[in-house]
Amino acid sequence: MNHMKIEEITETGITKVDTGMLHTLRLRSKQFYEKYIQLEKGSSFIDIDWDVFFEKYQYLVNEFIIREIAFTKWEMDTVLKGRKGKEIIFEELEKLDIQKPFTNEHSCRVHDPKELNEPWGRNTTTINGKTVSRIYGSTEGHPVLQAYRYKIGTWTADQAKVHCGSVEGSFEAALNKTEFSYAAIEKNIKIPQEQHKELFENLQSLANVSNKIKKEETIDEWNADIIKATFAKIVDSLRSVYFPVLTPKIGSEYYKTSYGKLFRASKKLMKSKQPKENVIKLWDIKRTEVIPEEIEKRIIPIFDISKAEDEHVICGIVYEPNRDHPDTDGDFTTKDEILKASNDFMERVRKYKIMHKFDTDKVILLQNVVAPTEFTMKGRKILKGTWYQILRIKDMDVWKKIKSGEYTGLSMAGSALV
């Protein structure tokens, strides 16, 4: 609904107007109030039913709050505060979103509770077809959205994190007591190929708990020593399938967080070593060999190297060394490691897909090479140590999309044109 008059405002009707009309109605309400409050003072013939006016204005203000639309306070908002009206209904709330992580609820903090006067209440709404709770504090007598809460079972951590990012909030995954047990984590550690997502969540959950636990304290089955030992085991497990899991650097956004502090405290207990910067790209490639779902994340840039219009030949850069971080021999990583990864591809894969879905025999591998020296190909510099492939495209539809720029690369291992 894009049009409504002040007198037409109802509790349900106001929910159907767009944001622009909400602002228009509020401005008109202000103009009406300022005009007639003065006229009423100077004339005995003007008698406005202000109870009706403020009842409708309360519905309007409630809708601003529900939609989380910021608005400037006017004189009539102060008057509204002193009147008894049908305000937005909140469930009773004992405290704001301060103690985290929560059991069985992900949290998204959008306002620091320290800046709010006191708890106001909690209500629910629907976002993307899922129920979400909203926690409100108060300032100057008005409710202020402080946090979102997302129930486990309705929201995955990833889904909740995406929504939290859309409102520029600070996300923290729930502490699920069923999944967050020592036995469950030990099980995950044994199968990182399958449980790597859960292991990353376990790292963050351990960091959250470590931030709340005192030196000699025990929460459920966790104490400081067990947390550090388990954290180290998870990092070792993830690195065993080529997830780098790097130490947060000084000055980074994670360095001073509970995660960064726990990482440093657990480092001496880790049996694995994080890869050097010049090897991380190679780990990305190796990870695709042990975790199939990682295949689509490895994107290989491609460019046309055809000498004639009907050749349809491209070059794909599989691994390009980091020229800023050579190793002690002046190479960017060892020749044996690159050759092994290249040979593994030839032995195990040699398959190509289109858009990660359709197998095709119309993409032919002509050459699979690790550059022995630096050279130039079609105006593009190929560094020493670069692993590249030469491919012929025999599918005309695929070729047209490469030439048009719709397809810009290959993904490693399952090798899909993207």
**Backbone phi, psi, residue 315, to 5°:** -115, 135
Q: Tell me: do 248 and 221 sit in the same domain.
A: yes
Q: Tell whether 75 and 132 lie within a shared domain.
A: no
CB 13 within 8 A of CB 63: no
Residue finishing a domain among 82, 114, 141 = 82
> Cα dihedral sign for 292, 296, 302, 308?
positive
Q: Provide the pLDDT for residue 198.
A: 84
pLDDT at 238: 93
User: What's 273-312 look like in SS3?
Assistant: CCCCHHHHHHHHHHHHHHCHHHHHHCEEEEEECCCCCCCC
Instruction: Mark whether 150 and 257 lie in a shared domain.
Output: no
One domain, residues 259 and 293: no
Claim to verify: residue 329 and residue 302 sit in the same structural domain: yes
CB contact at 8 A, 96 and 119: yes
Q: What is the pLDDT of residues 40-66, one digit of tens each?
A: 666 656 677 888 888 888 888 878 877
Tell me the C-alpha distance between 210 and 397, whole Å: 55
Domain closes at, from 132, 147, 172: 172
- Structurally, the chain folds into a number of domains equal to 4
Rounded (5°) CA angle 137-153-209: 60
Q: Among 138, 172, 206, which residue terminates a domain?
A: 172
Residue count of the chain, please give it.
Answer: 418
Identify any residues that bridge with 134 across adjacent strands, giving them in sequence order. 123, 148
CB 160, CB 144: distance < 8 Å? no
Domain identity same for 307 and 392: yes
Characterise 370 by phi-psi region: left (phi > 0), alpha (psi -120 to 50), beta (else): beta
The answer on 191 and 166 residing in a single domain is: no
The HSE-up count of residue 156 (CA atoms within 13 Å, CB side) is 6
* 301 shares its domain with 412: yes
Q: Which two tokens stand for residue 303?
A: 């460019």
Q: What's the sign of the alpha-carbon dihedral 346, 349, 355, 359?
A: positive
Domain that holds residue 391: 288-417
In a domain, residue 144? The reply is yes
Task: Provide the greatest CA pair distance for the chain.
Answer: 98
Q: Tokens at residue 340, please?
A: 């092994």
- The answer on 203 and 294 residing in a single domain is no
Token pair belonging to 338: 């690159």
The Cα–Cα gap between 20 and 218 comes to: 53
Give backbone dihedrals phi and psi of 52, rounded to 5 degrees, phi first: -65, -45
Query: Is the domain of 19 the same as that of 70?
Result: yes
Cα separation, 140 vs 116, in Å, equals 9
In a domain, 94, yes or no: no
| Residue 382 near residue 374 (C-beta atoms within 8 A) | yes
* 18 three-class SS: coil
Q: What are the residue ranges of helices labelled H in 70-219?
A: 75-82, 157-166, 182-190, 192-210
Q: What pLDDT, on the 0 to 100 scale, is given for residue 235?
A: 95
Measured distance CA(408)–CA(300) in Å, rounded: 8
11: tokens are 């509790």
Residue 282 belongs to a domain: no
Judge whether 66 lies within some domain: yes
Of 261, 254, 161, 171, residue with least CA distance to 207: 261
Q: Are 15 and 126 a contacting pair, CB within 8 Å?
A: no
**216 located within any domain:** yes
Report yes or no on 71 lying in a domain.
Answer: yes
Predicted local confidence at residue 322, as pLDDT: 56
Q: How crowded is residue 365: how many other Cβ atoms within 10 Å of its Cβ?
A: 17
Residues 6+ apart with CB under 8 A from 204: 172, 173, 259
Tokens standing for residue 280: 């991380």
Report the C-alpha gap between 301 and 386 in whole angstroms: 13
Residues in the chain predicted with pLDDT less than 50, given as ranges, are 85-90, 92-99, 295-296, 323-332, 355-358, 413-418
Tell if the pTM clears 0.85, that is, is over it.
no
- Percentages of the chain per state (helix, strand, coil), in multiples of 5: 40, 20, 40
Neighbours of 123 (CB within 10 A): 17
